[in-house]
Homo-oligomer: A and B are copies of this chain.
Amino acid sequence: MSGYMHEPVSGIIAYPVTPFGTGGGGIDEDGFRQVTENLLVDAPAAISFLGSAGESAYLSTEEWRHSARLGVETVAGRVPVILGISELTTAAAVAKARYAEEVGADMLMVIPIAYWKLTDAEIFEHYAAIAEATDLPIMAYNNPGTSGVDMSPALLVRMVREIETVRYVKESSGDLNRMHAIRMLSDDSVPFYNGANHMALEALAAGASGWCTAAPNLLGGRPQQLFSLMQAGDVDAARSLFYQLLPVLQFIVSGGLPTTVKAGLALRGLAVGNPRLPLQVLPDAARTTLKGLLEGLAVEPVGR
C-alpha cells in the first residue's frame, strides 16, 4: 500500500478503459499502459481502474486481477490508485478486495450488482463483509442504471457512519436530490463524488468533492480545468466550459462509456481494441459524430 488516502481526494478521479487484444484476447498490456499514461499527463487526483468504463463486470477473475496488478504497477505511486469491484456475490467481492490490498491499491470503489433486488440489510452486510476483509478505505458507488441496485442517501450515510472503512460515496444516479440528502443527513461530513458526467457543473455547485469520470481519456485536462474554475468561484467561465464539453459528455454517456471512449481513443490515435461482446464497436455514423465533436474542441492526438 502506498500510504496515500489519509485525506479525501479532491478533484478529478480519472477512469481508464480496459484495452483488449485483437481477436477476443485478454488484457492488452501495452495499450493498458498507454491509456494510463495518457490520463497521468493531466495529473488527476486519483486513477480508478476497473470501473464501469473499465468493463469491470465483463472481465474474468483472472483478467480483473491482471488489470489490478498492472494498474498499480503502471501508476507506481504517482497518484492514488482506486480499484473497482462490481460483483453479484459477496464471496467474489471479498476475494477481489483482498487481492486489491495485496497488490498495493490505495482504495476500493465497490458497487453491488443485483439480479434479485437487495434489501438494505443485504447491501449493508455486503459492504461490511468487504470492509472486514481489508483495511483499504472504501468508496460506496451508487449507479442504479448499470447495477440494478439503488442505494438511498440514508443507507449510504449509515454505512459510512457504521462501517469504519466505508468513507466516501460516488453518486452516479444523476439525481441532485441524492447529493443534497447525503450532505444534509451527514451534516456535511461524508465526502461525495459525482459520477454523472452530464451534470458535473451542478454537482460541483452542490458540493461534490470531485468528479469521477472517463472523460479525461478524450478531453485531457479540460475536466480538471472545470473543477478548478468552480473552486476559484469563476462560475461564468466554468459554465461556459461545461457547455462546450457537454455534447461530448452526453455522447459518451448515452452510447455507453466502454464503447464510446474506446472509439474516441482510436480517433485520437490510440487503438485499444473493442469492447467485449455483446457490446459492439461504435457504429460508423456515431463515430463520425464523435469525430466532429472532438474536432470541434480541438482535441489532439494522444501524446507521443
Contact = CB atoms under 8 A, between A and B. Distances in A.
A184 B246 contact: yes
Contacts of A1: none
Interface of A is mostly: helix
A247 B184 contact: yes
B91 A24 contact: yes
A126 interface: yes
Given A89-B276, A125-B277, A277-B125, A256 B205 contact: no
Interface stretch (A42-50, A112-120, A153-161, A265-273): A112-120
Contacts of A213: none
A115 B57 CA distance: 7
Interface string A48-85: 00001001011000000000000000000000000000
22 contacts: A52-B115, A55-B115, A57-B115, A86-B115, A90-B278, A91-B276, A112-B278, A116-B257, A116-B258, A117-B256, A118-B279, A121-B280, A122-B277, A125-B278, A176-B176, A176-B199, A177-B198, A177-B199, A202-B202, A207-B243, A233-B235, A235-B235
Interface of A: 24, 52, 55, 57-58, 86, 88-91, 112-119, 121-123, 125-126, 129, 145-148, 176-177, 180, 183-184, 188, 198-199, 201-202, 204-207, 230, 233-236, 238-239, 243, 246-247, 256-259, 275-280
